[in-house]
Structure 1
Amino acid sequence: MTKIIDLTIQEKVYKNKKSRISILNDFKLEVNSGERIAIVGRSGVGKTSLLNILGLLDRNYSGSYTLFGSKTNDLSLSQLAECRNQKIGFVLQESALINSLTVEENIKLPLMYAKSRENRKSEDFESIVSTLGIESILKKKPLECSGGEKSRVVFARAVIMKPQLLLCDEPTASLDGDNKEKIIALLFKMNQEFNTTIITATHDLDVANRHDKTIHLERRM
């Protein structure tokens, strides 16, 4: 198997006027292509921060990160942006939908920035929205959708490019049992069909146990 992630974090620090919070101390992570990794731990231990670092959204930490064979510290901002759009899918709690666009336009937004669109077939879009059961809301705006519907829209947008790496932050937290199963089914279908590497931060031990490996984060005192 090919190693696509080699991450070492000495420390990630959050500061304000009154306190200094240190997380992910002496943390190391190696991930091979096609692995399914679950990240678990109490709130505040650094699960979302870790996903932000893995997804090249946060470089403000002490350590080193090699992704897809490239040292990320050596990449320019444009190279980082290209990597995020072409190779990484995000289902993050901070993944805001654009309220001025319809659900369909939000889902298809990553395609606008793709270098090559000829292989982005319409049946991929149709299959995703059908699996997630959101055909009826495609013409709605995000503000007209429920929280669960928006969660499924964010997920559809994340997978539309068939990314090599998919980062998920509590992807089933706001969903009922039926829609939770739809998300998990599509997640693992991508893993099986396209060898997509899955990293999921979750409090749901049922979801975590369906992955190949579970990493427990703890706060060092």
Structure 2
Amino acid sequence: MNSIIKLEIEKKTFKKKGFSILNDFELEVKPRERVSIIGESGVGKTSLLNIIGLLDTQYQGCYTLFDSSVKDLSRNKLAEWRNQKIGFVLQESALINSLTIEDNIKLPLMYANIKKDSTTEDRFNRIVNKIGIESILKKKPLDCSGGQRARAVFVRAVIMNPQIILSDEPTASLDLENREKIISLLFDMNKEFNTTVITVTHDLDLANRHDRVITLERND
């Protein structure tokens, strides 16, 4: 089986701060694999997700994604893949306060020019119902709790049925019940749609529920 991700990083340098992370780091991930990434703060976990998700190209190394060399992709193609093939549940993922929760969730569909039809509406309703945020769809983000916003960000990340889901501490702000809803949907997508799942977490229980755990360590 071919790898969906093949990443070789020589280093990621922060010139102003005078140090580098992810030195001589290699990662290969196969389709449908569930990989968790753990490690203490500052070792580069979020930076690694940003590189995998095509948000950060400022590093030394080579990256093959979906059998294509990332350095050969145009800006438009990178943006298309970020919207349609990769789902992001990142800590800095912001909801637009002027839009309702429903409109925030449906933004990726709009960017991809996907017209509203029964298939997309059925998918939207199924995910929203499973996560349990039906009651906040017409509310604005500032009218919702942190946990409700976190669940909305998650639904937005999976609404396009991406081939890869990248999650950065997806359950950090959730209570036990909603934590299990997120994990259940994440792993259901992995089984039903062969979605590759990569999760950064400090939650060792969640980490160990993946197929493989990668521990990042400091370079010094």
Deviations 1:119-174 (A, max 9, x none): 84211111111111100000111111111111000000000000000000000000
Report the alpha carbon displacement of residue 116 of structure 1 after superposing the two structures with TM: 4.5
1:63-142 aligned within 5 A: 63-117=61-115, 120-142=119-141
1:177 aligned partner: 176
1:3 to 2:21 alignment: no
Return the alpha-carbon distance in structure 2 between the equivalents of residues 76 and 161 of structure 1: 21
Q: Which runs of 4+ in 1 moved over 6 A?
A: none
1:217 aligned partner: 216
119 and 74 in structure 1: CA distance in 2 versus 1, 3 angstrom threshold: farther
Report the alpha carbon displacement of residue 63 of structure 1 after superposing the two structures with TM: 0.4
Return the alpha-carbon distance in structure 2 between the equivalents of residues 33 and 110 of structure 1: 23
Return the alpha-carbon distance in structure 1 between the equivalents of residues 8 and 60 of structure 2: 8
AA aligned opposite 2:84: Q
1:207 to 2:206 alignment: yes
CA RMSD of aligned residues (A): 1.1
Q: TM-score, normalised by structure 1?
A: 0.96
Report the alpha carbon displacement of residue 15 of structure 1 after superposing the two structures with TM: 2.8
1:196 aligned partner: 195
Calculate percent identity across the aligned residue pairs. Answer: 66
Return the alpha-carbon distance in structure 2 between the equivalents of residues 129 and 199 of structure 1: 22
Q: TM-score, normalised by structure 2?
A: 0.97
SS of 1:44's equivalent in the other structure is: coil
Return the alpha-carbon distance in structure 2 between the equivalents of residues 169 and 20 of structure 1: 25
Deviates further, 35-44 or 114-123: 114-123
| Structure 2 residue runs without a partner (length 5+) | none
Report the alpha carbon displacement of residue 86 of structure 1 after superposing the two structures with TM: 1.2
